[in-house]
Structure 1
Amino acid sequence: MTRTLRGLLLVLTALTIFACAPKAPVPPPKPAPPPPPPVAEEGFRRIGPAEAMALAEHIDIREQRLDSWRELTGPLSLSLSYLESRPQDALALDRPELRLTWAQLTLSVRRLLDILPLLDADPALLGREFVWYTLDPDPLMTGYYAPMIDASPVRAPGYEYPLYGRPSDLQSVDLGLFHPRWEGQQLVYRVENGRVVPYFDRRQIEMQGALAGRGLEIAWTRHPWDVYHLQVQGSGYLRFPDGRIQPVLYAGKNGHAFVSSERLLLSRGHIEPGAMHREGIREALRRMGPGGHDILAENPSYVFFTLSDSPPLGSMGRPVTAYVSLATDPKLLPLGSIVPFSAELPTGPGEPRRVVQGIGLAQDTGGVIKGGRIDYYCGAGEESEYIAFRIKNPVRVHILVHRDALGGGQP
């Protein structure tokens, strides 16, 4: 048995012993103030046909910058190809009030593709053909986009901060293989002198040169905030000095918990709430001098990238579509789900906010997208950036299941 395997087994054995060991008695806690009111747990509620048809009639696809329902053919086909790759008899959604298999989601997307040509003239068809389940309480909607980052393919004056590709020593193991309570969790690690240890955190990588000299640099950026911001968004584009635009995609992360440096800036008084956008944050960090990089390093999470010929991809491994694709918690809204929504959203600089009643597709996930949180993909470019940074409000959300998938409409 190698030293690496022995080290990993020791870590897992220790975790298992800790999980199973009886807990030592602890002194009673000190009196605490009354807890806040409990947060309502998310759940689905089936709505009636009349209400469903009324909701369907109010969907205006133009609010999503589409001219016709037919323009959803491409995005829906991407969802369908993903759904068809899933084990059809397995549960995609398993909740006390609603259980759906991958086969039911697959059939629902197929049926929506079938009726797309009819929806421009008769949007209420969406209410007659599908059963609507409303998610209560309303989730929080935020926005994300594909940033355009000024970068150089080689280190040059003004481009001093590296963007790293995935290191070969970044390893992971599925902890659910060792104990049921760790199902869905991964241990990300590296091996040092035969011992399993946590992978390098952001401070070690960016400020202590943990990865320097290994040839992992895929590009060089102007500021640590460029690297951080691209990592938060998950993918984007690099704009090289010769004008070339290079897509850059997610390739892995170091396994450390995410800490929002933006919230740290706000809570410590380094920035005003109205300046919480890309350039406002950049200016706040500039004013802080070296302390700006230090506050970014308080977020230990670090993402690695790869250069690609493809546009930004969602968690399905397929391209995402502006103002249609949603990042969701797949335990609540599975990938491939059809997700009508209604939310008050910004429309652009100098324009008033307006209520958008649209049709979303669950095609992405995110490290901080858990439970009642949905991220709306706004595309690429300055206007998309403006809109994405200004979305933070409740959203009314539904999931659609075709009546054929429910055996004639019976859940």
Structure 2
Amino acid sequence: MFSQVSKRPWLIAVAISVLLLLWLLSGSLFKAQKTASADQPVVEQGLAKVEIQWLEAQPMQRQHVVQGQVEAWRRVELRAQISASVLRLDRDKGQPVEQGELLLSLSPDDRSAQVVRSEAEVRQRETDVDSARRLHERKLFSANELLRLDSELAKARAELATARLHLRNTRIEAPFAGVYDARQVELGDFVQAGQSLLTLVDIRQLKVSAQIAQQQVTQLTLGQPVRVQLLDGRELAGELHFIAAAADPDSRSFRIEVRVDNPERLRLAGASATLHIQTGEAMAHRLSPALLSLDAAGRHGVKWVNQQQRVEFTPVALISVDNQGAWVSGLPPRVALITLGQGFVEPGQQVLSQLANEGS
């Protein structure tokens, strides 16, 4: 037999390969069994053994974090009130302007002459009425005729006011201090009443608008401090100055606006920002999100061990989550949180608990 095998060396190689394969498989099986047993809770005296960690409630600042849009505090599009030609560009776009400053002039045409004619008409009517009143006092002028002259005087005064308004509308002035942001016409253009002429924005203050969920809006009050974080990392201090009285019918969220001072008139309008709204201090526990589980009703909660060494499940409210952990509320002030084996025990079950660092 041995001589036959020695004559066939390939049989020896096959035999060695089979033995090696069986040895590797036996090692993998042993490792798999060892790993599987590590995932299962250790049982002592018929009770599952779990690891716990004592957690104390800590004060933390509650806050809502929402995405918002930076807007100019005021933005107005100035339009022509009359039909005329652009006579003069008194200021150029992109410049800061003060309230009442002349920005653009339209051609007066015959409007100045119309004001002169209307003023003369008013003076004539006033003279007629004064004379009629003196005659009426002497019983030489009827009351009806005096009433007619008073009516004509009122009409002349109204026409004068209209003529003056039309003349004044040839001067396009800034209704508030701001930045001359855009111009839609050029020198010599003929514009119609209602046509857009230029845009003025006020960026001495900014407003950051956002939508906040209906579950969170009850925690907001006007005047709350808000931290505004820009995309480039800069932060601005603001305060909540507007909360919508009704929710958006589509999103069921409420519009809020935060007022931010901008004394340097930084060009931030139109940018995105993140709002950090402080809603007061609360006692909460900080833990790993991996320790959160769901009960039969689908509520988030954690499992812990009470003084009788029984498992408790307490639903919690998630306050905030970051890459360091999660803040939750709803737990007792001091709790023995199950950190290992919580997936294999149920509420009400008797267990043996051990501090997480005792077994190391």
TM-score under structure 1 normalisation?
0.24
Structure (1/2) with the larger helix percentage: 1
| Structure number, greater radius of gyration | 2
TM-score under structure 2 normalisation?
0.27
